[in-house]
């Protein structure tokens, strides 16, 4: 679908054709690159949008296109089919895909070291541990989705069975807290965005991360082994662009970065810029840097091992070799240069 920005890009190309041949050569010299988010253009993916809008990919010689996926499964399918070169994916989804299909998927950089999902309950009726879940009704984002899998993993970790808790779909919004207040559920699992919003609303909530019982890398950049083998130089250039984008987000005010990206991408929630900034600041401090600044963008082996073991023990997925799922080759190459 052609939008206003595509039209403007077309006008720029036409202008180059009229004014001089060298401009066309420069444009053609850029290497096409298509990358995909798992879920549209929510502000959670600002580092990917900033890679494009901030010119980081262009600086590395890419003519880049960022697509907004409609679920991790779609993004993974597009990657395997060769329609995109890189996606952002949760490690739990990558591990499950590899176990189910032996797809040669490799995470070459992890941005979110800690889980984006948290258990939320009321302060005056708290659920403080997985053991407390027995006999309770727990809200999950969707039936059979990632949050329900995390619930099963946590129950398994403390020796409880799936049938020891009831499940209700509560979605991923601050409104789920009303269901707790109404007694329809005792607690619910939601993303960090929901937690930040509830805290900004001064709600009295008890919160703890799924990492307490099922630690694993959260969100990273995934490609195929074939791309790694065939285009290592392209991998290094993309990793450099991503590092520069992340460094900019870590060191510069967020509002201008989000506003610049919004000129290229339809970012939901822009009317509440303060909340978008608060969510991203929390992600940077608590999730990107949870393994220390020295591990920013790196794959941490102990987390991959823990994740594979949790999924195997929980009967969700069985990957024999955790080390086959990730590499730090390109992060290390960028950091050294």
Listed in sequence order, the residues at least 6 apart from 3 whose beta carbon sits closer than 8 Å to its beta carbon are none
Are 75 and 153 in a shared domain?
no
Are 100 and 221 in a shared domain?
yes
Are 106 and 245 in a shared domain?
yes
Are 257 and 304 in a shared domain?
yes
Are 76 and 153 in a shared domain?
no
Please count the residues of the chain.
337
Parent domain of 315: 4-114+216-336
- Assign residue 179 the CATH number of its domain: 3.40.190.10
Q: How many C-beta atoms surround the C-beta of residue 250 within 10 A?
A: 15
pLDDT surpassing 60 at residue 47:
yes
Q: Which of 261, 221, 229 is nearest to 91 (CA)?
A: 221
State how far the Cα of 145 lies from the Cα of 267, in Å rounded to an integer: 24
Listed in sequence order, the residues at least 6 apart from 261 whose beta carbon sits closer than 8 Å to its beta carbon are 46, 49, 50, 52, 53, 54, 267
State how far the Cα of 260 lies from the Cα of 277, in Å rounded to an integer: 14
Are 295 and 180 in a shared domain?
no
State how far the Cα of 279 lies from the Cα of 255, in Å rounded to an integer: 12
Residue where a domain terminates, one of 193, 212, 231: 212
The pLDDT value given to residue 219: 96
Are 55 and 176 in a shared domain?
no
Tokens of 44: 């959670």
Dihedral-angle region of residue 89 (phi above 0 means left; psi in -120 to 50 means alpha; beta otherwise): beta
Percent of the chain with pLDDT over 70: 91
The model's confidence at residue 336, banded by pLDDT at 50, 70 and 90, is confident
- pLDDT higher for 129 or 8? 129
Are 69 and 149 in a shared domain?
no
Are 56 and 68 in a shared domain?
yes
The model's confidence at residue 22, banded by pLDDT at 50, 70 and 90, is very low
Question: In what order do the strands lie in the sheet containing 86-90?
Answer: 62-68, 31-37, 86-90, 219-224, 105-112
- In tens, the pLDDT along 279-318 reads 999 999 999 999 999 999 999 999 999 999 999 999 999 9
Are 175 and 128 in a shared domain?
yes
Are 228 and 332 in a shared domain?
yes
The pLDDT value given to residue 337: 66
- In tens, the pLDDT along 311-331 reads 999 999 999 999 999 999 999
Helix (H) or strand (E) holding 222: strand 219-224
The model's confidence at residue 65, banded by pLDDT at 50, 70 and 90, is very high
Are 229 and 308 in a shared domain?
yes
Helix (H) or strand (E) holding 98: helix 91-101
């Amino acid at each position: 679908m052609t939008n206003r920005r595509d039209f403007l890009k077309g006008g720029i190309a036409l202008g180059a054709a009229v004014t001089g041949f060298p401009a066309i050569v420069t444009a053609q010299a850029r290497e096409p690159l298509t990358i995909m988010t798992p879920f549209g253009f929510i502000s959670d993916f600002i580092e990917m949008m900033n890679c494009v809008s901030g010119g980081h990919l262009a600086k590395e010689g890419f003519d880049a296109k960022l697509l907004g996926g409609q679920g991790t499964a779609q993004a993974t399918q597009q990657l395997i089919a060769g329609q995109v070169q890189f996606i952002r994916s949760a490690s739990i989804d990558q591990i499950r895909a590899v176990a189910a299909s032996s797809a040669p998927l490799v995470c070459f950089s992890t941005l979110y070291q800690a889980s984006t999902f948290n258990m939320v309950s009321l302060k005056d009726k708290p659920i403080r541990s997985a053991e407390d879940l027995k006999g309770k009704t727990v809200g999950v984002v969707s039936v059979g989705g990632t949050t329900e899998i995390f619930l099963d993993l946590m129950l398994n970790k403390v020796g409880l069975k799936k049938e020891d808790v009831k499940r209700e779909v509560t979605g991923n919004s601050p409104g789920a807290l009303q269901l707790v207040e109404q007694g329809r559920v005792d607690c619910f699992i939601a993303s960090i965005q929901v937690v930040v919003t509830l805290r900004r609303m001064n709600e009295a909530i008890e919160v703890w991360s799924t990492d307490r019982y099922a630690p694993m890398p959260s969100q990273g950049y995934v490609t195929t082994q074939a791309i790694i083998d065939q285009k290592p130089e392209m991998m290094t250039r993309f990793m450099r662009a991503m590092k520069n984008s992340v460094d900019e987000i870590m060191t510069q005010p967020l509002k201008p970065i989000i506003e610049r990206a919004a000129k290229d991408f339809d970012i939901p929630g822009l009317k509440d810029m303060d909340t978008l900034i608060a969510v991203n600041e929390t992600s940077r401090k608590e999730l990107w840097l949870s393994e220390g600044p020295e591990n920013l963008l790196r794959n941490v082996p102990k987390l991959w091992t823990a994740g594979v073991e949790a999924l195997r023990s929980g009967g969700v997925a069985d990957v024999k070799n955790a080390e086959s799922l990730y590499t730090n080759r390109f992060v290390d190459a960028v950091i050294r240069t």
